[in-house]
Amino acid sequence: MNRLLLTPTDTLFFRDGRPMEGALSGHGAAWPLPTVTNAALHAALHAAQRGGLIAPDKAHRHDHMSGTDRVKKDIRAFGSLVTAGPFPVNAAGVWYFPRPLDLTGASLTPTLVPRPLAHASSLSAPLTHHLRSTEAPSKDSPAKAWLSAADFESYLAGAPRGTTPKQAVNDDEIYHAEAQIGIKIDAATGTTGQGDAAGMIYSSHSLRLHDGWRLGLLAHTHEKQAGSDQERRDLIGQDLYRDGRGHLILGGQQRVCTVLRETSPRLPLPAGLTRADAFRTDSDGRFIVKWVLLTPAIYPAITAGISKRGTPRHAHPGGWLPTWIDPQTGAVLLQSVDRDQRLERRRHNYNGRGYESSPDVPGRLVAARIDKPVPVTGWSVGDDEIDRQPGAKSTHLAVPAGSVYYFACDTADDAARLAAALNWHGADDARSPIRNRRSTLLGEKGFGLGVCGTLHA
């Protein structure tokens, strides 16, 4: 994948679907979600095609309609675009990632550890362990918000007790929020409006990166060429940023970022544990796999019934609980499939047919550490050609990055198989490519990337 280093030329504004009236500021100074940079690259690809930088025959048009619905003609292009990020990158080229939620102290040793429930509790049905703090209560927050990839890997591998991060930073070391007051403008007339809307003001916060900091983004396309399944093209590296430099319009208010493209066979994301001998056991002799989210993940609620393809659909609460976890037993419901099987399943989906799933990945969820959900929304300007209305997009509540899930396995080999299914790089230590995106929705936009660790000694 291409590494894109984005340097803003001004402040950045990342408004979500929440209002900006009264005391609300639109939450525009938050670190951008993966949907923001993915949408910006989509817009850049469309603009490049309109400007002649990308020839029309290089963009594969998608028709995902079935049966008589195909007359609607889905005209969306660049559907092969996949992204990951953005993540903070400093002047030395060090990438940073959200701190795991079981680290509340100043060291890389978890201060929250799973322990079996000794009595009845209010925890959800699948959970059999609670997280016990190893430190005395305190109002201090010595933990840094972001860890470098090297520190993250030390944490996953079970760094010796008392090991402190070598490169960790807080939000205020990366960026700060700038407050602004503005006057509401009528989009139709370009004036301040009339009647009750005349002279209305709003407050907003914008994000300004400190000197030397950039947004790191991973991006790649795999566009079909000339109707062939074999011939593919990376429009990011071969067309959009073929000279290694360019620009990208990012976020609200049409702010511009300069872009530097780098290529490397190894991705800068931290790697999780893969070997069977790396996983430790708990007091009951079970091997523990700890899965930590590097990016948010979305798990929608599912109602029981019959799917559009005629297959049974089982109910699932979603929310904080992954839809690939049995809500009653905590068992993992994933199945290992090779490339040919995956392509066959995609053909079934395209033709409106279902397929049977036979879960074969071992492991059972026993504990979790989750923070407040992150609203994922946006704003659409509308597009009559694909029958979209302007306005706020649907809002999803995502599990935040840094959330930790603990799984128990019977054997070390089972733990390694589970880690291969959850690590973003699978069982491959080469850190390329991204193999697993364990978010039910928006995985192609970078949601659901995670890495596996184990219990500390």
Q: What is the 3-state secondary structure (H, E, C) of the chain?
A: CEEEEEEECCCEECCCCCCCCCCCCCCCCCCCCHHHHHHHHHHHHHHHHHCCCCCHHHCCECCCCCHHHHHHCCCCECCCCEEEEEEEECCCCCEEEECCCCCCCCCCCCCEEEEECCCCCCCCCCCCEEEEECCCCCCCCCCCCEEEHHHHHHHHCCCCCCCCCCCEECHHHHEEEEEEEEECCCCCCCCCCCHHHCCCEEEEEEEEECCCCEEEEEEECCEEECCEEEEEECHHHHHHCCCCEEEEEECECCEEEEEEEEECCCCCCCCCCCCHHHCCECCCCCEEEEEEECCCECCCCECCEECCCCCEECCECCCCCCCCECCCCCEECCCCCCHHHHHHHHHHHHCCCCCCCCCCCCCEEEEEECCCCEEECCEECCEHHHCECCEECCCEEEECCCCEEEEEECCHHHHHHHHHHHCCCCCCCCCCCCCCCCCCCCHHHCCCCEEEECCCC
**Sign of the torsion formed by the C-alpha atoms of 199, 204, 210 and 215:** negative
- Give the pLDDT of residue 139: 74
- Give the pLDDT of residue 259: 97
Question: Can you tell me which residue has the tokens 């069977």?
Answer: 276
| Most distant CA pair in the chain, distance | 71
User: Could you say which residues of the chain have pLDDT below 70?
Assistant: 16-28, 60-76, 187, 193-199, 202, 226-229, 308-309, 348-354, 379-392, 457
- Give the pLDDT of residue 256: 94
- Give the pLDDT of residue 44: 94
Please choose, from the candidates 453, 370, 368, 418, the residue with its C-alpha nearest in 3D space to the C-alpha of residue 109.
453
- Give the pLDDT of residue 269: 96
Q: Do residues 332 and 418 make contact, with C-beta atoms less than 8 angstroms apart?
A: yes
CA dist 418 and 423 (Å) reads 9
